[in-house]
């Protein structure tokens, strides 16, 4: 079909720049009913490295005036940054998101520092003894481990994050590369998935199982 936009703005993971990519083609699906969602998929090419990019939009977004509109374009290929679950508390998710942005901008040391900040926020989230805003990362990790909120493996990952966060946050000779920053961010996201997302899903699973075991009233009574 006819291409409405000649160019789109997307992050190119190949050359690691935010680029004004030229659109080569588009496929649009129009919703047939109120319960369906219209979608657009656009194929573009990075003008710098010529790498192919694929963007996606849906038509059930809302603009500032309350009108339905197309959503912001999101890159769906190559694989975008991991989306953060809504189960992760906002303060923690904000630091993880900032770490992702720093990573995309090749600010690897800053990314590691923000990843450590997210981990520190996890400890403060669960802290109940005293003022949470004074709890430091090392003590927070110990407390999470002692309360069995994280297991031995996650505790080991957390200690590695703590060590590298300190190197990133203070003047040191340590130079972080993309692989270091990406791995540390992945560890932090995995901890959040375990502590918040999977814990919530298991609680919901237990609730469903309990409901199934509860006898249902039949409405029939013996006289």
Over residues 172-204, the pLDDT tens digits come to 888 899 889 989 999 999 999 999 999 888 889
- DSSP states of 31-48 as a string? -SSTTS--EEEEEEE-TT
* Highest averaged pLDDT of the listed ranges 3-17, 175-189, 208-222: 175-189
Q: What are phi and psi of 45, to 5 degrees?
A: -135, 130
Q: How far is CA 94 from CA 2, 17, 71, in A?
A: 38, 22, 21
Q: Is the pLDDT confidence value at 109 over 90?
A: yes
Range of the domain at 129: 90-207
Q: With contact defined as beta carbons under 8 Å apart, do 39 and 31 qualify?
A: no
Asked whether residue 162 is assigned to any structural domain, the reply reads: yes
Q: Is the pLDDT confidence value at 45 over 80?
A: yes
* Same domain flag for 157 and 130: yes
Task: Report how many domains make up the chain.
Answer: 2
Over residues 62-101, the pLDDT tens digits come to 888 888 888 888 888 887 766 788 899 999 999 999 999 8
Q: Is the pLDDT confidence value at 223 over 70?
A: no
Asked whether residue 117 is assigned to any structural domain, the reply reads: yes
Asked whether residue 153 is assigned to any structural domain, the reply reads: yes
Asked whether residue 219 is assigned to any structural domain, the reply reads: no
* Same domain flag for 37 and 119: no
* Same domain flag for 32 and 115: no
Q: What is the CATH number of the domain that holds 126?
A: 1.20.120.330
Asked whether residue 2 is assigned to any structural domain, the reply reads: no
Q: Strands (DSSP E) along the chain, which ranges?
A: 7-12, 17-29, 39-45, 52-58, 61-62, 68-69, 74-77
pLDDT at 24: 92
pLDDT at 1: 41
- DSSP states of 169-190 as a string? HSS-S----HHHHHHHHHHHHH
Asked whether residue 212 is assigned to any structural domain, the reply reads: no
* Same domain flag for 123 and 53: no
pLDDT at 105: 82
């Amino acid at each position: 079909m006819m291409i409405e936009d000649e160019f789109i703005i997307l992050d190119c993971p190949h050359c690691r720049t935010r680029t004004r990519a030229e659109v080569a083609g588009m496929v649009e699906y129009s919703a047939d009913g109120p319960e369906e969602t219209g979608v657009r998929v656009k194929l573009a090419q990075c003008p710098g490295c010529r790498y192919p990019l694929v963007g996606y939009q849906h038509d059930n977004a809302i603009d500032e005036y309350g009108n339905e509109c197309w959503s912001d374009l999101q890159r769906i290929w190559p694989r975008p940054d991991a989306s953060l679950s809504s189960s992760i508390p906002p303060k923690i998710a904000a630091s993880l998101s900032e770490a992702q942005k720093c990573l995309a901008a090749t600010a690897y040391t800053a990314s590691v520092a923000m990843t450590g900040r997210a981990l520190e926020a996890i400890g403060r989230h669960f802290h109940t003894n005293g003022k949470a805003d004074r709890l430091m990362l090392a003590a927070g990790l110990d407390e999470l481990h002692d309360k069995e909120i994280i297991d031995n493996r996650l505790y080991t990952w957390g200690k590695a994050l703590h060590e590298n966060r300190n190197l990133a946050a203070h003047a040191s000779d340590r130079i972080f590369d993309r692989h270091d920053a990406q791995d540390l961010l992945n560890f932090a996201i995995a901890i959040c998935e375990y502590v918040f997302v999977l814990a919530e899903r298991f609680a919901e699973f237990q609730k469903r199982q309990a409901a199934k075991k509860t006898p249902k009233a039949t409405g029939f009574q013996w006289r």
